[in-house]
Amino acid sequence: MAQEVRGVIAPGKNQPVRVETIVIPDPGPGEAVVKVQACGVCHTDLHYKQGGINDDFPFLLGHEAAGVVEAVGEGVSEVAPGDFVVLNWRAVCGQCRACKRGRPQYCFDTHNARQKMTLKDGTELSPALGIGAFAEKTLVAAGQCTKVDPGVSPAVAGLLGCGVMAGIGAAINTGGVGRGDSVAVIGCGGVGDAAIAGSRLAGAARIVAVDIDDRKLETALRMGATHTVNSRTTDPVEAIRELTGGFGADVVIEAVGRPETYKQAFYARDLAGTVVLVGVPTPEMTLELPLLDVFGRGGALKSSWYGDCLPSRDFPMLIDLHQQGRLDLGAFVTETIGLGDVEKAFERMHAGDVLRSVVVF
Ligand code: APR
Ligand code: ZN
Ligand code: ZN
């Protein structure tokens, strides 16, 4: 039987979000209904509300979530009712060229639930990143659920569903940070801080945090940065070179998404270093570089999509490390809020006051 729950809707471009009754169908083949316990507020939710992703209003927002599986549809074997799960926005297909080559993190045929959640009047909702978890319950593809240890708090577990995984994965999966490496992270919001925490986890010897806001640099130190550079007042490329014996960093992670910071990342790496681009630029942004510099520098230039993560491998591992006290995921939760506070949380996020506000149920 379809059921009615409360969820946060973005009704139209730049209109304030509001809590409405939504209708969740029973799970069909390959689907699961999840009772959401916590869901973090991410920039992408704000971008949906602003119309920056697409025009498929109304959206059901929220996508950084953890909860308990309530019911599964036909043919679902990966999870069962009662399982504690973290949701991911890329259920891989197992069939495409990338999956068959053993690189499912590059799957081009990821999928979501087939059925639609609706408003009471039958209007179909577009769930943010195929999840829609600012809701008491949500309908997803079973492959979007990754079972993890239920001993961890839902507010912490849910973070792995998006930004924190993107940052940690940029360091450990895409960047391949190793013991003794020097790392520079440009932009120390939630994603950059997670890249710092990931670099520390991987054994980096030196982690230089770069930001234009001193408050962010203080937090970066708590996450494991060994040095900080305020790039409003100091040339970050020069500073990073100085801190790395004149060479540049082995791995530079860009977590802003602007031309000037892409350029800084490009020049701040060691000649054989790796640049990892996590910050998402807008369509009109371009970057001009002397070709001789592009040719003359070795190493690698990589972009990192969802931290090149494999949820079934990475989510349980990171939760294990958190439980052992080797990774403090709790440090990313600035505040827990209610379902009616999402609009306020967007304002605080926009002002740079929070790493993560997390809706708890
Ligand atoms: N130089 C250095 N730091 C900058 C600059 C700049 N020119 N401009 C902004 N910043 C800093 C901000 O002060 C902030 O600390 O970058 C940080 C960005 O953090 P958030 O806005 O919290 O964004 P976050 O969620 O971390 O995401 C960063 O990664 O996945 C992408 O889409 C995401 O593009 C975004 C980026
Ligand atoms: Zn695939
Ligand atoms: Zn997100």
pLDDT digits (tens, 9 = 90+) for 128-173: 999 999 999 999 999 999 999 999 999 999 999 999 999 999 999 9
For ligand 3, the distance from its centroid to the CA atom of residue 298, given in whole angstroms, is 32
Label residue 70 by pLDDT band (50, 70, 90): very high
Q: Cis peptide before 236, with omega less than 30 degrees from 0? A: no
Cα–Cα–Cα angle for 262, 268, 271, rounded to 5 degrees: 115
Label residue 206 by pLDDT band (50, 70, 90): very high
Query: Residue 240 above 90 pLDDT?
Result: yes
Q: What is the pLDDT, as a whole number, of residue 353? A: 87
Reported as a single tens digit per residue, the pLDDT across 265-290 is 999 999 999 999 999 998 899 999 99
Per-residue tokens: 245: 């014996």
Residue 260: CB within 6 Å of ligand 1? Answer: yes
Q: Is 266 helix (H, G, I), strand (E, B) or coil?
A: helix
Residue 167: CB within 6 Å of ligand 1? Answer: no
Reported as a single tens digit per residue, the pLDDT across 116-134 is 999 999 999 999 999 999 9
Q: Which of 41, 43, 264 to mutate to test the pocket of ligand 1 (most atoms within 8 A of CB)?
A: 43
Query: Residue 2 above 90 pLDDT?
Result: yes
Q: What is the pLDDT, as a whole number, of residue 64? A: 97
Domains of the chain, with CATH numbers? 3-161+328-360 (3.90.180.10), 167-304 (3.40.50.720)
Residue 356: CB within 6 Å of ligand 1? Answer: no
Of ligand 1's listed atoms, the one at least distance from the Cα of 260 is 7
Residue 211: CB within 6 Å of ligand 1? Answer: yes
Mean pLDDT of the chain: 96
Residue 256: CB within 6 Å of ligand 1? Answer: yes
For ligand 3, the distance from its centroid to the CA atom of residue 45, given in whole angstroms, is 7
**Could you give the CA distance from residue 80 to residue 15 in angstroms, rounded to a whole number?**
38
Of residues 133, 81, 120, 113, the one with CA closest to residue 2: 120
Query: Residue 1 above 90 pLDDT?
Result: no
Reported as a single tens digit per residue, the pLDDT across 286-302 is 999 999 999 988 899 99
Closest protein CA for atom 19 of ligand 1: 189
Residue 4: CB within 6 Å of ligand 1? Answer: no
Query: Between the CA of residue 138 and those of 119, 265, 347, 358, 361, what are the distances in Å?
Result: 13, 39, 25, 17, 13
Ligand nearest the Cα of residue 95 is 2
Ligand nearest the Cα of residue 109 is 2
Of ligand 1's listed atoms, the one at least distance from the Cα of 43 is 25
Closest protein CA for atom 7 of ligand 1: 261
Reported as a single tens digit per residue, the pLDDT across 10-68 is 999 999 999 999 999 999 999 999 999 999 999 999 999 999 999 999 999 999 999 99
pTM (predicted TM-score): 0.95
Helix 259-268 crosses helix 236-243 at what angle (to 10 degrees)? 20
Residue 210: CB within 6 Å of ligand 1? Answer: yes
Model ipTM over 0.90: yes
Average confidence (pLDDT) over 207-233: 97
Q: What is the pLDDT, as a whole number, of residue 102? A: 86
For ligand 2, the distance from its centroid to the CA atom of residue 91, given in whole angstroms, is 9
For ligand 2, the distance from its centroid to the CA atom of residue 216, given in whole angstroms, is 37
Per-residue tokens: 282: 């807008």
Q: What percent of the chain has pLDDT over 90?
A: 93
Q: What percent of the chain has pLDDT over 70?
A: 100
